[in-house]
Structure 1
Amino acid sequence: MRLVVFFILIIYSIPSMVNAQQRIYLYADSDSNIIKNGFDTVKPYMEYYLATNQLSNNPRTAILICPGGGYKYLAWEKEGVKPAKFFNSNGIDVFVLHYRVNDEMLHGHGYPAQYNDANKALNYIYDHADSFHIQKNRIGIMGFSAGGHLAATISTLNPLNPKTFTPSFSILVYPVITMENPYAHAGSKKMLLGEDSSADLIKQLSVEKNISPNTPPAIIIQAGDDKTVPVQNSIMYYEQLLANHIPAALFIYDHGKHGFGMAENDPWLSQWPQQVVAWLKECHFL
């Protein structure tokens, strides 16, 4: 009787075991300079979401998602977990990045902490691709708002540095792109660069200026009525991709404002995730 009960418990525990997320910390315990005592509660990590609809036995596509939050907080559920589960249902593995952030008093982390966290995560995915059953030339990066700036920074700076891994594609959703006026998002700029940043650093992190022929293809999603991050951010990035002959797609919806996430309650706007999947297939990333 006890043996029967044991097997019943095992059977009922399988779904929760499958759905449990794997948390992967990016730095060793010996890296004591990564966190700031009194500010950070946890070291940078990513959560791994395994594809629930695995379309074949071939190695899968993977996406590293950088949630937004103005480099001040992370919209973890709306811009991390929910899109991860959507892409999982389309046969894509997802890693959601918990990167370092700042606060109004600038007690936290500015550049290059976030950039380093994203690079650490991408390198980990690449180095362990075989064990995850991920195809190394189909590892992309995605970001929302300030997370879009982080994804675009990785996509533009990494091709200029042969020691860093360049993702195969980028997905940018209402992204912060420039640090220069008049279209900069002031909050993200302050959290990332501080209040007295140099003109050189502002230019370096205005990612539209760093696009090269080696920048990965991108799909960009934004609403035309976005008053928080002007739509010119997306347009500038798109235009520079075209100027460098890089495959790119830009969807500007007529409404949605800023931070619409998956837009589950809007029949028109909620089509954007499927457009991303269609684009990935069109570009042979899926």
Structure 2
Amino acid sequence: MPQLLPKLRYSCSLLIVAIFIGNPHLFADQPPSHTESLWPDGAPGVEGKGEGDDPQLIITKVESEGPTAAVVILPGGGYGGHAIGHEGHAFAEWFHSMGISSAICTYRLRGKGNNGKGYGHPVPMQDAQRAIQTLRARAKELNIDPDRIGVIGFSAGGHLCSTVSTHFAEPIEDSDDPVQRVGSRPNFSICCYGVLSMGQPYTHQGSQRNLLGANPDPEVLASLDNPTQVTPETPPTFLWHTAEDTVVPVENSLKYYQACVANKVPVEMHLFNEGRHGLGLAQSIEGAKQWPGLCESWLKRLKMINPK
């Protein structure tokens, strides 16, 4: 029996290491969060209560003496899923480390809910606009500044990010719903390797099909080619992309950048040669791993990060 103890200790140590490698955040100090329904009284146009019919907000609140900035996080997934790990929870932690509260929005999409048919446009846009309005309407409760609420999106979530940065829900001052009494225009926008164009040779066809169907209405399609929708009202924007991205070509970000410049929208863009699509924080990729630090510096210059 004594001879077995070293082997047992060794086996247990290997098991602990394996668990930690498979779940790197298991023993980390994760910021506290809570999940709530985006539409507490039921989302518009929804009759069922199945998976995908009730979009959620996963709110991570920063404890601070004064109000902080906040950001709505829109994970990618081709409008057919949510890459909620490396494009959701990882960014809630990142923003929390900078003193910025966040809300991951599990917007409705194709393939889930709606009796199996899922949801296309304008539903994802309505959910993302509602997420911004929710943070703004509850600013005092959440200790956030209603004039410092932004949005970040990745891949197809980047398209949704650019959509709510160019298409705004206006406030309805006499609404019975306090969330609708405030507008949805974000105060800043971060698009990460985004599907920013629709109806173009460099459009990600799967995202377009999931959002608009196989034969989209030409006018609706044109309205969601978001570089053409940029106006002086588009909020200050941060873009990054890689030249090696073969899933969502870099032309998407280039066109959006040019549109921001043409409309005198404050914009910063960083392009890196190496790196596949969907990198998230990109910490294993030389060059591209610089982008979080560059974005943090940009947020500081916008005064979105409270001085320490």
Identify whether the pair has TM-score above 0.5, normalized to the shorter chain.
yes
- Aligned-pair distance for 1:31? 4.7
Residue identity matched to 1:98: T
The aligned residue for residue 89 of structure 1 is 97
The aligned residue for residue 127 of structure 1 is 137
- Conservation of the 8 A alpha-carbon contact between 1:49 and 1:88: yes
1:44-93 Cα deviation digits (max 9, x unpaired): 011011237x5xx3210101010000000000011000011011111111
Find the residue that maps to 2:168 and give its secondary structure.
Answer: helix
1:130-175 Cα deviation digits (max 9, x unpaired): 111101111000000000000100000118x565420001000000
The aligned residue for residue 99 of structure 1 is 107
- Aligned-pair distance for 1:183? 1.3
Select the residue among 7, 10, 21 that pairs with 2:33.
Answer: 21
The aligned residue for residue 4 of structure 1 is none
- Conservation of the 8 A alpha-carbon contact between 2:274 and 2:287: no
- Conservation of the 8 A alpha-carbon contact between 1:158 and 1:165: yes
Residue identity matched to 1:253: F
**How many angstroms apart in 2 are the aligned matches of 1:106 and 1:191?**
13
- Aligned-pair distance for 1:120? 1.3
- Aligned-pair distance for 1:283? 2.1
The aligned residue for residue 17 of structure 2 is none
**How many angstroms apart in 2 are the aligned matches of 1:214 and 1:122?**
16
Find the residue that maps to 1:240 and give its secondary structure.
Answer: helix
**How many angstroms apart in 2 are the aligned matches of 1:117 and 1:30?**
12
The aligned residue for residue 239 of structure 2 is 220
- Conservation of the 8 A alpha-carbon contact between 1:61 and 1:135: yes
**How many angstroms apart in 2 are the aligned matches of 1:32 and 1:201?**
20
**How many angstroms apart in 2 are the aligned matches of 1:35 and 1:255?**
46
1:247 to 2:257 alignment? no
The aligned residue for residue 11 of structure 1 is none
Residue identity matched to 1:28: P
**How many angstroms apart in 1 are the aligned matches of 2:31 and 2:88?**
16
The aligned residue for residue 73 of structure 2 is 65
Q: Structure 2 matches for 1:178-217, cutoff 5 A?
A: 178-217=197-236
Structure 1 length as normaliser, TM-score?
Answer: 0.87
The unaligned stretches of length 5 or more in structure 1 are 1-15
The aligned residue for residue 74 of structure 1 is 82
**How many angstroms apart in 2 are the aligned matches of 1:235 and 1:262?**
20
Residue identity matched to 1:152: S
1:188-238 Cα deviation digits (max 9, x unpaired): 000000011111011001111111111101000111111111100000000
Find the residue that maps to 1:235 and give its secondary structure.
Answer: helix
- Conservation of the 8 A alpha-carbon contact between 1:68 and 1:75: yes
**How many angstroms apart in 1 are the aligned matches of 2:256 and 2:149?**
21
The aligned residue for residue 43 of structure 1 is 54
**How many angstroms apart in 2 are the aligned matches of 1:63 and 1:277?**
13
Select the residue among 124, 133, 147 that pairs with 1:114.
Answer: 124
The unaligned stretches of length 5 or more in structure 2 are 1-27, 173-182
The aligned residue for residue 297 of structure 2 is 278
- Conservation of the 8 A alpha-carbon contact between 1:23 and 1:46: yes
Structure 2 length as normaliser, TM-score?
Answer: 0.81
